[in-house]
Amino acid sequence: MSLSLGIDLSTFAYGKMMGLDSNENNGNKHEISVIIPAYNEEKSIEEVVDAQYKQTKQPKNVFLINDNSSDSTHDICKCLEKKYNTFVYIKNDHNQGKASNINKVVSDYYDKLGDIVYINDGDLIPDKNCLEELINGFDEPEVAAITGFPRLIAGGSLLSKAMTWGKQWQIDVLYFRKEAQAYRNGMYVLCGAITAYKKDILKKIPIPTRTKTEDLDYTWILIENGYKLRFQKKATAKSYDVVGMKEHWKQTLRWHSGAWQSIYSHGKNLNKAKGLLYTTLVPFWLDAALFTALPFLYNYNSYVALGIVGIELISNLTTNLISSPKSLKYFPSAPLYTAMCFSSYLISAVKTTNEKIMHKEDQWKNRWEKQVIKDPVAKNIPKNQEEQNEK
């Protein structure tokens, strides 16, 4: 069993035993506003906006900021503007990036926002009780953000779908790990596609634009500033995953590049977040170092190397059965996606380190890397694929 998994398992068991779950149900005391940063989202944006107004907890208003899309996102949003009285549409004349868009809405419309601000990606469709579940737990003064639980919709070739299924397996297993990390306030990342924040904190500490993964960077900043983060597994949504192996690789490389960029950007500041650094990050780095060394260890002692792989496989299967047995069907795809993650992690480490040495941090800026789906039946993926995923 890996060190990081062992820590999360023990923390999870301790948290459940001690009743550390938040039982607050004071969502009606809060007003929630929705911000949807969008770039080339013509295939999903109408469904995404409609889903906000079908919530059991109605938002005070919905702000959609179109970051100079090149598709028909603008035309669709103009129609939505006429459909909903509390829908506020903003269009940028030039591309600014997701983090800058969110900061712009918070800055320009602060007085019109509810005390809670929910960030919803332009391709993520929240389930009808998502906001109601997500808003609970904010009465605790130290809590800055609460994140939810996304489900992925696969599309494209069988190989592309297999990558999504492997990713979904990691998400399903990760939910218990994220819950454990929240118990010790060492959460690795708030899901940028489905997270609610206290409005005053978004104004006090704007979302950073210095890395490719603003959600990871911001998660660490909040913990370093002494805030608590929570995970609400009942706040669920579905999201269109990328299609094609090239796009899966680009996405995975961006995530890991952003992680390394955040490591270099935070530096010694991570010592302010000891729970994150010493119970989440360091154990993960030690695990990564061990698995990187496995090919060399195999040449020295193949039995030890294969034993480590076998133990890791069994521990992951056992964890899967306990935490999310329904996702066991995705497990055969997990090694494929894990191999891609491992490769991109090493490549991004070398690339980002070189950029740091050469003082090219400007290349890390938060920018859109939105795939344009050319598949003419792509919009029909959700219903068919979601039914398949539920079987």
Please write the tens of the pLDDT for every residue from 210-256. 999 999 999 999 999 999 999 999 999 999 999 999 999 999 999 99
Q: What is the mean pLDDT of residues 312-326?
A: 80
Q: What is the mean pLDDT of residues 101-113?
A: 98
pLDDT interval class at 369 (50, 70, 90): low
Are the CB atoms for 194 and 148 separated by under 8 Å?
Answer: yes
Of 269 and 327, which is predicted with more confidence? Answer: 269
Tell me, what's the pLDDT at 370? Answer: 57
Are the CB atoms for 32 and 196 separated by under 8 Å?
Answer: yes
Can you tell me whether residue 337 is helix, strand or coil?
A: helix
pLDDT interval class at 174 (50, 70, 90): confident
CB neighbours of 372 closer than 8 A, spacing ≥ 6?
A: 40, 71
Using CA atoms, how far apart are residues 222 and 298, in angstroms rounded to an integer?
41
Question: 């100079």: which residue's tokens?
Answer: 68
Q: What is the mean pLDDT of residues 362-390?
A: 53
Superfamily name with CATH number, domain 1-391: Spore Coat Polysaccharide Biosynthesis Protein SpsA; Chain A (3.90.550.10)
Residue 76: pLDDT above 80?
Answer: yes
CB neighbours of 184 closer than 8 A, spacing ≥ 6?
A: 11, 275, 279
- Enumerate the β-bridge partners of residue 195: 119, 147
Q: What is the mean pLDDT of residues 381-386?
A: 40
Using CA atoms, how far apart are residues 351 and 261, in angstroms rounded to an integer?
10
Tell me, what's the pLDDT at 377? Answer: 35
Give the least confident one: 112-126, 175-189, 296-310, 359-373. Answer: 359-373
Using CA atoms, how far apart are residues 224 and 212, in angstroms rounded to an integer?
20
Tell me, what's the pLDDT at 291? Answer: 86
Annotated domain spans of the chain: 1-391
Tell me, what's the pLDDT at 26? Answer: 63
Are the CB atoms for 117 and 197 separated by under 8 Å?
Answer: yes
Nearest to 117 by CA among 28, 217, 196, 213: 196
Of 311 and 244, which is predicted with more confidence? Answer: 244
Nearest to 198 by CA among 137, 127, 108, 129: 137
pLDDT digits (tens, 9 = 90+) for 336-345: 999 999 999 9
Using CA atoms, how far apart are residues 291 and 5, in angstroms rounded to an integer?
14
Q: What is the mean pLDDT of the chain?
A: 90
DSSP 270-283: GGG-HHHIIIIIHH
Strands 32-38 and 61-66: parallel
Nearest to 25 by CA among 237, 234, 236, 238: 234
Tell me, what's the pLDDT at 22? Answer: 61
Q: Output the CA angle 248-67-61, nearest 5 degrees.
A: 105
Q: What is the tally of helices (H) and strands (E) in the chain? A: 15, 8
The secondary element (H helix, E strand) that includes residue 117 is strand 116-120
Q: What is the mean pLDDT of residues 313-320?
A: 81
Residue 388: pLDDT above 60?
Answer: no
pLDDT interval class at 27 (50, 70, 90): low
DSSP 48-103: HHHHHTT-SS--SEEEEEE---SSSHHHHHHHHHHH-TTEEEEE-SS---HHHHHH
pLDDT digits (tens, 9 = 90+) for 249-306: 999 999 999 999 999 999 999 999 999 999 999 999 999 999 889 888 889 999 998 9
Single pTM value for the model: 0.90
